[in-house]
Amino acid sequence: MSIKENIKKYNNQLPEKVQLVAVSKTKPNSFILEAYAAGQRIFGENKVQDLAAKQPELPSDIIWHFIGHLQRNKVKFIAPFVNTIHAVDSIRLIKEINKQAVINNRIINCLLQFHIAEEETKFGLNMQEAEEILNNENFKTLQNIKITGLMGMATFTQNNEQIRKEFRNLKNYFTQLKSNYFSNNPEFSEISMGMSGDYKIAIEEGSTMIRIGTDIFGARG
């Protein structure tokens, strides 16, 4: 199927409350423009250098999400335009995002990344670490970032029950944090979970935002 048909397929099957982030990492601008022509507006990249190179070449109404691990010294390169940063996992990173958002007179949405997989290598917070951030006195003063929800990646496995359990954990973390820290804040509303191989399970477990690369743009080299 073509990129256009793939976008249509997702639009037709996704529940209304689930947003599609088209993960265009490593793919050329021509691929992004094909998805754009099919109506897709939210795109995700995971390398600062790539995102900073692509953004000026592409339509200005694209909503850019940064989905990779973000180093503090690189926030300044994407702060002028990035809409949402998915993998926020420290107060120091949050402060830097806020600082660069102030410089650019913008608000930047952030998702707290939780570690839900069994793998050691993946980044992310546990509940205690997330609460430390939310209770941090500095955090409460930051005006130019919004915590709009949580993000997580399940273990890379064929075991669907394990994947389901991990997504369910993320949903439970979301529900707890929502009631303890964001009960008056409707903007804390997103659960970013689900990729090409596991998005159906993620949606069944409450995902509001799936991040799809391979299944739209084809395998990466």
Ligand X SMILES: *Cc1c(COP(=O)(O)O)cnc(C)c1O
| Contact residues for ligand X, defined by CB under 6 A | 23, 25, 46, 67-68, 153, 195-197, 211-215
Nearer to ligand X, 44 or 142 (CB): 44
Q: How far is the CB of 176 from ligand X (least distance, A)?
A: 23
Residue 184: both structure tokens together? 């008056």
Nearer to ligand X, 85 or 101 (CB): 85
Report how far residue 125's alpha carbon sits from residue 197's, in angstroms, rounded to the nearest whole number: 23
Nearer to ligand X, 67 or 201 (CB): 67
Q: Which of 64, 74, 16, 50 shows the shortest CA–CA distance to 211? A: 64
| Neighbour-count burial of 66, counting CB atoms closer than 10 A to its CB (0-12 exposed, 13-18 middle, 19+ buried) | buried
DSSP per-residue letters across 84-144: EEEEE--HHHHHHHHHHHHHTT--EEEEEEE--SS-SS---B-HHHHHHHHH-HHHHH--S
CA angle at residue 63 from 169 to 87, to 5 degrees?
Answer: 35
Nearer to ligand X, 155 or 196 (CB): 196
Q: How far is the CB of 160 from ligand X (least distance, A)?
A: 15
CA dihedral 35, 40, 46, 49 (to 10 degrees): 70
Q: Of all residues in this chain, which one has the CB nearest to ligand X in the complex?
A: 213
The amino acid that residue 43 corresponds to is F
Q: How far is the CB of 27 from ligand X (least distance, A)?
A: 10
Nearer to ligand X, 36 or 124 (CB): 124
Q: How far is the CB of 59 from ligand X (least distance, A)?
A: 22
Q: How far is the CB of 136 from ligand X (least distance, A)?
A: 25
Nearer to ligand X, 145 or 194 (CB): 194
Q: How far is the CB of 214 from ligand X (least distance, A)?
A: 3
Residue 95 CA, distance from chain mean position: 18
